[in-house]
Structure formats: structure tokens, C-alpha cells
Structure 1
């Protein structure tokens, strides 16, 4: 009766618990939440045997492996180091192979020219024969294969209201027939402003998917209110939507159902941008891999030009190339984003704020993914005797005597007003700094993606590569300056609150 995801978790647990000298894991992070991946990463670091992993999670690979074996043109090549090191070495190898290939082509042309000119001449026949043997012995080099990088972009979103939606004291959960409702997240007070980019954190079962469904309007609140403002256009992706595709139909059929008055060639061009070219646009979906189905579901969402994207584990089944293309596209998306993902690279590159669901409550998470990892290992992933509880609410202060209460309230109000007046310009500056940093981080993610692409190191793109490197250095300097000022402003804010 278990779902595929839970069956996979059980199989993984069984593999880990068996005593072994060799552990083989094929996509172990699929269907795992971030907390489970972090636990698995720590467990594998301590594993004493030999480990062989197939994975599309670059952060997971960086944390676990010491050697990468790359399969290309039916050959295996070994690279020392983690995945990031492999990417650098591979890019250098592509550049070197391209230079060697061009050099050999020049040598071949020279030999062929000599043979064609002199093999008919008796005085040069012997030399021509020698050149022919040399040419025959010359092993045909081929440049390392560099496929055209997959890329797509989100269409300009429709004009958005602000705020897009508001949840007022909402309880998220499920109505149960013949029994009490299943409450998952309670007392939600949440206003989603235009342009915000949230990553949603929480352990498995905390209620992340339930909250996303409530924001998407798929689940009505059990209590409280959900207000969806006019002009809101939601693009919602979840794994169950892949199952809603018609497997007996094609990508072109699906797209034509939502784009009724658009020329077929325009639809084909659009599908081609998502790597469904030519005959693939009319191929039955039943033959597609899980990654291809997920890519099609994303393409159908993007076509509608949503101003709010709600993505629940969009990278499951996607290969590294498609994940990178999605990361770049989301970093450049101009609308509002709420993302649930176990892919740390995607979260870092596309979101600038985090929310956390813990103990049935939604709250802002003040920190980055490293802070979240530390929090998990201090709390949820710590042995029970070492677990650190969630911070408790402060105990109410002792009530002042009635005679002094009015004067005390007046003084407290004056203090609050002074603090508010002092905080306002600092908070305003912090907000502007965060907006600038978000844009620069998106630009940095796009540059990093291009530099990670081996095609960027070809001879024909030397000038473009120089520009990218200069841009990368400039963006890094700008970010460092903005972050330094942001920290300074935060310290001023903390001093005011002290």
C-alpha cells in the first residue's frame, strides 16, 4: 500500500543496514527530503567500504565522492576529486582536445596535399607513399563531444497584484470523510508580495506540500481565510501532475489544448526550446522517461506566463543538464517564486529568503542552508538526549502595580516610537541592499552556469569567455561590498533592539 517514494526509502534503508564492503546507489536522493539527504550524506562519509553512486545532485556528490567516472563515447574516464573538480577538469579537457583536434586536422590537410601533388611523380613517389602510410597510421582524433547546452526561459509574467495572496489565521490540512479533519499547519499568517522568492524548509512530513497546495488553491483552509487577489496567475508544479499527462498523446497535443489559436510551427518552436524537437513533439508520452515527462509538465506551466510559480520538488528525475537549465531560467524569472526542493544548488541560486515549517507552524528562517543544516543536526537529526528544543516563547513580564501602569505604558510607547523612527531608514536600506543582492546573485548564477558549460571554452568563444571571467570578478566584488554593508546595517539594527 506504500507509495513509490516510500518503497524507495525502504529499499535504501535495507541497503544501508546490510553489512557490506561495496555499496551501489542509483539516484538515492530521489524522493528524499533535504533533511534525509543531509543525514544520508553524513552516513556515507563514515561508510568504511567502497561506494559507487549515480546521482544528479551536485551538492550531494561534492560532499561524498572523491573520484568521478565519466562515460562518454562508450568509454570511461576517471577524474580525481569531487563533482565540482570534475567540471573544471572536464572543461579544461574539452579545451585541450579541441586544440589537439585542430592541430591534427592541419597536419592531415598538409599530408593529403603533399600526397595529391606528388604521388603521380616518379621522383616523389617514394616520399608520397611514406606520407600515405603516415596518414593511415595517424589515429583519428575527435574533439570531446560537447552537446549544445539545454536552455529555456520563462516568458514574461503577467502583471501581478501586490500582495498576490494573503493567508489570515489559516489552518492547512485535509478534510476527512467520516472523521476529524487532519490538521497539518496551523495559524498561518502569511502575505506573499510581488517579486518575493522563498525557499520552503522543513523535515519530511512537516507540511511543505500541504502548504504549497493551500497557496495554489488546491486545498481550502480548514479554518481562517485565503485571499487570492485579482490578477494572480499561478504556475503550480508537483510530481502528481506528471501522472495527469495523457500518456497516449504527444507534447504537441498537450500544448495545443492550452494554446488553441496559435500556429503549429510556433508551438513546435516552443517545444523545441524545451528539447522536444522534430518528431519528438508528436511522439507518444508513454515512451518518455520520467525526466522528459517532468520537462514537458514544466513547459506547459511556462506557456501560461504565471506571475507566481509554486514548485514542489521540480528536479526529481531531471538530469544535471536540465537541472542547470532550470536553475538559470528560475534565477532570471521576473515573477514571484515559492520553492520546495532537496536540491541545495537550486535553492541557493534562485531564492533569497527562507520559510520553515516546524512543530506545525510556519515561520521565517533567519539563516542560510548551512544554518538550516546545523539546526537539523542540533534538533531533528540529533540523538534524542542531545536534541535542542525549539525556542520557547518568553515568559510574560511581571505586571506593574496599578498606580505605575499608565506611566510605564507611556514610557514604553515613547521608547517604541524612538526605536521605530531610528529603525525605519536602516530597514529601508537593508531592503534595497537585499534587492540588489538578489539581482546580482541571479546574474552570478547565470555566469556560473555558462562557465560550467564546456562549450564556453571552445576556440571560437575565447572573447566571450574573457568577458564572462571579467563579469564574474566584477559581480563577486559588488556582492562582497553589498554583503559587507548589509552586515553593517544588520548590526546597527541589532544594537537598536538591544
Structure 2
């Protein structure tokens, strides 16, 4: 359907990929992976003709309909959420044009040629309208918005009132409503809660078109993709399988490459030794020349550099008591701007014990972050008691904490200010573990990406000995490899963890207990995340 044919693309002096080829066939579900800056988003932009190839070509059928979901938020305001989604693809204009042509067909003064032309155009427009489900547009728009977390009341509010994360959901709904032949999706699960991710997963499973997507959500990729294309080291490599298959196969191929390189190195050493030994002997001149020519023709095997990953080493923390967090009859009510009060949860009672790994779950707005804020002292409860045990040293990560980083400071200055007793050498060593080395530590906070800011904040937390980690969406902005390093670090952490995350793979790997906030109530499930999910199955 769509073919990359020996494509080379360069950005400035950097070659993203050279002589790269792959094909998207009808019904394919493909994951696009690779380190940040390798060129994944560029692949999408090339397919959308937003950029052009330097060499090679991209071929696609003339009438193929491509939908592209990117991380760029449109400037949306002045329409309800529902109206904004229904306006996707200019379908209202298409419907008006179909109506106009229907009226023209009633004109008795049309010539035979005009009639044929109108009938042909009318047929084409009708086919387009039917292809995107135009005749049940509103019902499908409501279904999609509902799946992405909007209530019927939310759909009638002005889209301009919503935050950037919710506008992302509106943009996603617009793309899904169009039902294109090919979907290009750049991180579609960002800003979605677990319930919306599961809904989107099912939608994409049933989607008949082709899908090419990037995602930092390993579980999401595993459940959807049947092929993986890796963009790395100036090339593209295709793997036939899901993300787990790609991860294993990549390691196997690397080991095979290292073994082949070692064999080649042994062979080259022997040949070079023969040449050096007999180069001066006339009796061996022919053999020496033959071997020199042989060596000149050999393609040397290059081992690609290993991906840089974060390295965590936890400082030794004091042992806390067995009862880490105890809540009794806890309740929280927020005062709204219009004078009304909104109940978040009430009469919550529970106990977090030493070494527990607690997943705090619930739909968006249920009060997960609010519970963590009460525990960490960021806000007060309205009723009840929240008691943190003796000798508990707490480390708190929140997405909102990214805003407290000083944009005017460098990375080094920011971390130095938070650990004033540490030496510059120790701070640089710590930052090196978080992939900030050399001149990078002098970068201003203001120019960092979301993922880089998250790493700075995690470095600040890591610099202090703690025995309770409270993490509110720690994996947002982190790529899969960084998420896995963080995951392994948490597994080795000799303390207690409470965490909110929409990464199901992450939760499955570490959770020993679940706190579910649902309908203003807290329910405690004594079991891991998979057990919790089994309870939710219909």
C-alpha cells in the first residue's frame, strides 16, 4: 500500500537514515521504535509530505486516505467538543455539497453531458461520505469521545476550556472519526488514563485499516502490533512480531553480530600477520598481494553502540517502621470557583506496610493524585486522619513538580541547589547516571524536553536517602528503555512504594496491593495488579 524505497534523509549534518526501505500492507499494525532523535517523527512527516526525501522515494496509492495524530495541539476554541470532533475532515462541507448536487439532479434543464458529470461527482462524494461513516457521524463521535473519557455533559462544553491533555484527546477523536485507510499515530496513549488506553486498544484492534505508531507503552504495543520497525544507527530494521519479540530478537541479532565480528577479527589478524611476515619475500609476493586485495574487499563488521540507559543506585536509607502510612475516615472536598463543593472521596481507611508496592488506580479525576498529595503533605484532608509512620523519609515525584524546576537555572545548578552538601563531582556522577554528561549539564531547564525534566527530577529524588517513594505518573515522557530501567530500580528499592501510573506493564511488574478510588470511595485489594484486573473482567 505505502512503500519506503531506499530512502535517505538528513537533518543538517546528521544522517537520520540511509537507503531505508519498508512497506505498509493493508491491515498491518506496525510499531515504530528507536531512540529519541533517531528520526521516527520524520518518518511520519515524510509520509504526510510535510518534508521531502533526500534520496529514494515514497510510493502510495493516489486515493489512499491517511490520518496523522501528532503531539502538536491544534488551537481549538469557540465550538463544543462534539461539534469540534464532528467538523473533522470538513465532513459538513461534504454533506452540503452532496445536498447541493441532489438538488441539481432535479433540474429539468440539465443537458445529458451535465447530468453525467453531476452523477459522477455525486457518486464520488457519496462514496467518500460513506467511507468515513458520514450517515451516523454524531453517534460515532459520541461513542469515540465517551471511550476517551468525555461524559455527555463534557461534550457540550467549549473545547477552549480544556487543558492541553484533554485537547489531545479531542484531536485523537477527530482522527479516529475519519476512519482513514492508514493511521499514523505519534504517542497516542500520552495523556490517557488506563480505561481510555484499554478502550483505544480495542478500537484499534477492530480497525480494518493499517496502523503505524510510536508508543512508550510496552503493553499497548504488545497487544496491537504484528511488526516492528526500528529506526536507529542511520538505518531501519524490520522485525516480524510484537515488541517483546523485537526486544528478544534484537539482543539475539546483536550477540550474533558480536560473534561474527570476533570471528572476522581473528581472520583479519591471521591474514595481516601473514602479510607482515612474508611481505619482504619475493617467493611469497603473489600470495601477499592476493591476501592484500582480499582484505581490501572485505566489508568490516561494525557493532552499533549500545543504547544509553539510566543507571540507578539507591543511597542506603534508614529502616522505617512496619506501618508506613495509615489513613482512617479520610475525606477530601475541593471548593470550586462558583462556590460549590466537589467531593473527591470520603471515609477512606487503609494501611500501607513496609515494602508494600501500592498501585493507586481509578478513572481520571477520581482523586488518585489528591490522595498522594494528602500523604505527602501537599494538601490537607477535609476529614479523617492521615498518619505517616516514624523514621519515614519520603521521596515525591509529581508531574506538577516539573513546574517547580527553575527555567533560568542549568541542570547542574538545579540539582546542586537541592543537594547543597554534595560535591560537584558527586553531582556530575549522579547526572551521568541520568544520561546528562559533559556539556549537557550546562543546558538550561527552559530548553529541556518533558522526558529530560523528568530525569532531572528523578535525579533530585535519588540524591536523598528515602524509604518511601510516592510517584505520580513517573513514566510520563520516558521512553520504553528508560521506563524499564526505572522499573528495575524500583524492584531493587529497599523501601515502600505508592504509585499512580497508566503503564499497565509497569504496574503488573511491581504491584503487591491496589488502592482503587471509585465513586468517591476507596477500596483496597490485597493482591497484585493482574489479580485486580481479573476482578474487573465482566
Segments of structure 1 that go 5 or more residues without pairing to the other structure are 379-498
Secondary structure of residue in 2 paired with 1:192: strand
Alignment correspondent of 1:243: 403
Q: Does the Cα contact within 8 Å between 2:321 and 2:391 map onto a contact in 1?
A: yes
Alignment correspondent of 1:452: none
- Cα deviation code 1:161-214 (max 9, x no counterpart): 442333221212323456133211111112333322211121222211111112
CA distance in 1 between partners of 2:388 and 2:243 (Å):
43
Residue 116 (structure 1) shift: 2.6
Q: Does the Cα contact within 8 Å between 2:308 and 2:435 map onto a contact in 1?
A: no
Alignment correspondent of 1:391: none
Secondary structure of residue in 2 paired with 1:158: coil
Query: Normalised by the size of structure 1, how large is the TM-score?
Result: 0.72
Would you say 1:197 and 2:353 are equivalent positions? no
Residue 373 (structure 1) shift: 4.3
Would you say 1:68 and 2:256 are equivalent positions? no
Residue 278 (structure 1) shift: 2.6
Q: Which of 423, 436, 458 lines up with 1:276 in the alignment?
A: 436
- Cα deviation code 1:249-283 (max 9, x no counterpart): 12221222122222211221222222222322232
Q: Which of 328, 338, 341 lines up with 2:501 in the alignment?
A: 341
CA distance in 2 between partners of 1:119 and 1:193 (Å):
75
**Mean Cα displacement is larger for which, 170-179 or 350-359?**
170-179
Alignment correspondent of 1:289: 449
Q: Does the Cα contact within 8 Å between 1:38 and 1:373 map onto a contact in 2?
A: no
Alignment correspondent of 2:266: 106
CA distance in 1 between partners of 2:400 and 2:308 (Å):
30
Q: Which of 374, 379, 384 lines up with 1:219 in the alignment?
A: 379
Residue 372 (structure 1) shift: 4.4
Segments of structure 2 that go 5 or more residues without pairing to the other structure are 1-160
- Cα deviation code 1:375-410 (max 9, x no counterpart): 5564xxxxxxxxxxxxxxxxxxxxxxxxxxxxxxxx
Return the structure number with greater helix share: 1
Q: Does the Cα contact within 8 Å between 2:327 and 2:348 map onto a contact in 1?
A: yes
Secondary structure of residue in 2 paired with 1:156: coil
Question: Any residues of structure 2 matched to 1:113-152 within 5 Å, and which?
Answer: 113-147=273-307, 149-152=309-312
Residue 115 (structure 1) shift: 2.5
Residue 113 (structure 1) shift: 2.2
CA spacing shift, 1:191–1:367, aligned 2, 3 Å: closer
Q: CA RMSD of the aligned region, Å? A: 2.0
CA spacing shift, 1:153–1:347, aligned 2, 3 Å: farther
**Mean Cα displacement is larger for which, 42-51 or 109-118?**
109-118
CA distance in 1 between partners of 2:458 and 2:373 (Å):
17
Secondary structure of residue in 1 paired with 2:283: coil
**Mean Cα displacement is larger for which, 56-65 or 209-218?**
209-218
CA distance in 1 between partners of 2:232 and 2:247 (Å):
14
Residue 128 (structure 1) shift: 1.9
Would you say 1:40 and 2:40 are equivalent positions? no
Q: Does the Cα contact within 8 Å between 2:227 and 2:239 map onto a contact in 1?
A: yes
CA distance in 2 between partners of 1:226 and 1:258 (Å):
27
Would you say 1:82 and 2:269 are equivalent positions? no
Q: Does the Cα contact within 8 Å between 1:173 and 1:210 map onto a contact in 2?
A: no
Residue 16 (structure 1) shift: 1.3
CA distance in 2 between partners of 1:165 and 1:355 (Å):
13
Secondary structure of residue in 2 paired with 1:112: helix
CA distance in 2 between partners of 1:271 and 1:24 (Å):
35
- Cα deviation code 1:137-170 (max 9, x no counterpart): 1012112432464320332233424423332212
Q: Does the Cα contact within 8 Å between 2:516 and 2:523 map onto a contact in 1?
A: yes
Residue 320 (structure 1) shift: 1.6
Query: Normalised by the size of structure 2, how large is the TM-score?
Result: 0.67
CA distance in 2 between partners of 1:318 and 1:24 (Å):
21
CA spacing shift, 1:238–1:173, aligned 2, 3 Å: farther
Would you say 1:59 and 2:192 are equivalent positions? no
For these two proteins, the number of residue pairs brought into alignment is 378
CA spacing shift, 1:211–1:96, aligned 2, 3 Å: same
